C-alpha cells in the first residue's frame, strides 16, 4: 500500500486495514421480534425473526445458544430504512444474536477514538465499537440425509389422518449429524448460514369395496363402489448448527415444515360395467424427495462474552 494504515496481529495477519473493512459489534438481540411454528414434535421446531434496526449495511449475525440446541440462519432480508429481518430456524430454543456490520453502521456519540477510512471515504475501522475477534474457523458439510433409516410406519392412507401426529413425527424426526472438532470458548457464538435442505416423503394407500348387491362368496353381484385413498406425508428440513460439548460443533438437520397431501378416487360399477367415478384431493404437496446444497459451508466461531 502507498498510503493508509495497516495493523497486524502477532501472526502477521492484517487485522485493521484501510483497504478492508472490519466488522464491528452493532447490536445484541436477546429476543426475536416474532416467532412461529413452535412444536416439540419432529425433533422440535421454532422459527424466529429478529429485526436489526439502524444498520445501513448488511448485518453479519452470530448466534449463541446452549449446548445441544440446533440453530441455523435461513434468511436475511432488507426491509428498507436500514432495517433487516433475520430468520432463524431452531429445534425449539431461543438463541441470542450478536450482530456485526462494517464501520458505516457504527453509531456512537463518543468524542474520542480512532477511525480508519477507506480510499472512498467510508469508514473501515472505528474504535468506538468493538471489533469482531474470532477464535476459530472450520469448514463443515451437512449429512447427505436427515434420517439414517427412513421407514415410517403406521400412517393412515385416508385423508392424511395422521398428519402432524406422533406417528408422523416419530417417523420423520431427523437423527443424522456430522461432528467437527473445534476448541470452543465458554460462551461460543457462531456465524453459520443454513443452505443445505432436504425433503423426505412416504405414501400410504387404502382401498375399500362397498357392495349394494349380493355378496356371493366374496364377490359383489350387482352395484358396487370401489374406494381408493392415497396420502403422501412429508417433512422438509434445513441444516442447523449445534455443539454437543466444548470440543465439537455439529451440523444436523432441523425440521422446517411438515404436511401431507391426499388423493381419493371412487369408481362405481354394476355387474362388471363401469358406471362412472369421481376423485378429489387436498393438502400441501412438497417439491421433491431429495437433498440439496450439501457443499461445504464455513463456520466462524467467536467468544460471545466479549460482547456482553
Residue ranges that bind other proteins, judged by CB under 8 A: 7-15, 17, 19-23, 57-58, 60, 73-78, 87, 102, 110, 112, 114, 127, 130-135, 137, 191, 193, 195, 197, 199, 236, 238, 256-257, 284-288, 292-293, 295, 298, 300, 306
> Minimum Å distance from CB 244 to other proteins?
24
Minimum separation from the CB atom of position 75 to other proteins (A):
4
Minimum distance, C-beta of residue 25 to other proteins, in the bound complex (Å): 9
Based on the number of CB atoms within 10 Å of its own CB, is 308 exposed (0-12), middle (13-18) or buried (19 or more)? exposed
Closer residue to other proteins in complex, CB, 182/220: 182
By beta-carbon proximity to other proteins, the closer residue of 216 and 292 is 292
Q: Which is nearer to other proteins, 132 or 202 (CB)?
A: 132
| Euclidean distance between CA atoms 124 and 134, whole angstroms | 18
CB of 9 to other proteins, least distance (A): 5
Least distance in Å: CB of 296 to other proteins?
Answer: 10
User: Would you say 91 or 199 has its CB closer to other proteins?
Assistant: 199
CA 215 to CA 101: how far, in whole Å? 76
Q: Is 295 exposed, middle or buried (CB count within 10 Å of its CB: 0-12, 13-18, 19+)? A: exposed
Q: Which is nearer to other proteins, 271 or 292 (CB)?
A: 292
Shortest distance (Å) from residue 70 CB to other proteins = 15
- CA 101, CA 45: separation in Å to the nearest integer? 28
Categorise residue 81: left if φ over 0, alpha if ψ from -120 to 50, beta otherwise.
Answer: left
Burial group, residue 34, by CB count within 10 angstroms (0-12, 13-18, 19+): exposed
Between 110 and 207, whose beta carbon lies closer to other proteins? 110
22 three-class SS: coil
C-alpha cell at 280: 378429489
Amino acid at each position: 500500500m502507498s498510503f493508509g494504515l495497516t495493523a497486524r496481529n502477532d501472526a502477521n495477519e492484517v487485522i485493521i486495514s484501510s483497504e478492508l473493512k472490519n466488522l464491528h459489534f452493532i447490536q445484541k438481540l436477546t429476543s426475536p421480534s416474532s416467532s412461529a411454528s413452535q412444536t416439540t414434535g419432529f425433533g422440535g421446531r421454532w422459527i424466529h425473526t429478529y429485526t436489526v434496526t439502524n444498520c445501513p449495511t448488511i448485518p453479519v449475525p452470530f448466534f449463541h445458544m446452549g449446548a445441544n440446541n440446533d440453530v441455523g440462519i435461513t434468511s436475511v432480508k432488507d426491509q428498507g430504512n436500514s432495517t433487516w429481518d433475520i430468520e432463524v430456524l431452531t429445534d425449539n430454543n431461543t438463541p441470542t444474536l450478536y450482530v456485526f456490520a462494517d464501520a458505516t453502521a457504527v453509531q456512537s456519540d463518543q468524542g474520542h477514538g480512532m477511525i480508519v477510512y477507506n480510499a472512498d471515504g467510508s469508514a473501515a475501522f472505528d474504535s468506538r465499537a468493538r471489533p469482531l475477534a474470532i477464535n476459530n474457523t472450520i469448514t463443515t458439510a451437512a449429512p447427505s440425509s436427515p434420517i439414517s433409516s427412513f421407514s415410517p410406519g403406521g400412517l393412515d392412507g385416508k385423508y392424511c389422518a395422521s398428519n402432524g401426529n406422533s406417528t408422523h413425527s416419530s417417523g420423520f424426526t431427523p437423527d443424522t449429524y456430522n461432528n467437527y472438532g473445534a476448541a470452543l470458548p465458554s460462551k461460543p457464538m457462531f456465524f453459520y448460514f443454513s443452505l443445505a435442505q432436504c425433503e423426505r416423503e412416504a405414501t400410504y394407500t387404502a382401498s375399500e369395496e362397498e357392495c349394494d348387491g349380493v355378496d356371493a362368496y366374496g364377490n359383489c353381484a350387482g352395484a358396487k363402489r370401489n374406494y381408493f385413498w392415497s396420502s403422501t406425508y412429508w417433512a422438509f428440513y434445513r441444516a442447523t448448527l449445534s455443539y454437543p460439548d466444548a470440543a465439537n460443533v455439529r451440523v444436523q438437520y432441523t425440521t422446517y415444515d411438515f404436511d401431507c397431501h391426499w388423493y381419493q378416487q371412487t369408481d362405481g360399477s354394476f355387474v362388471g360395467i363401469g358406471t362412472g367415478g369421481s376423485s378429489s384431493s387436498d393438502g400441501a404437496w412438497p417439491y421433491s424427495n431429495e437433498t440439496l446444497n450439501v457443499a461445504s459451508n464455513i463456520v466462524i466461531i467467536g467468544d460471545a462474552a466479549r460482547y456482553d
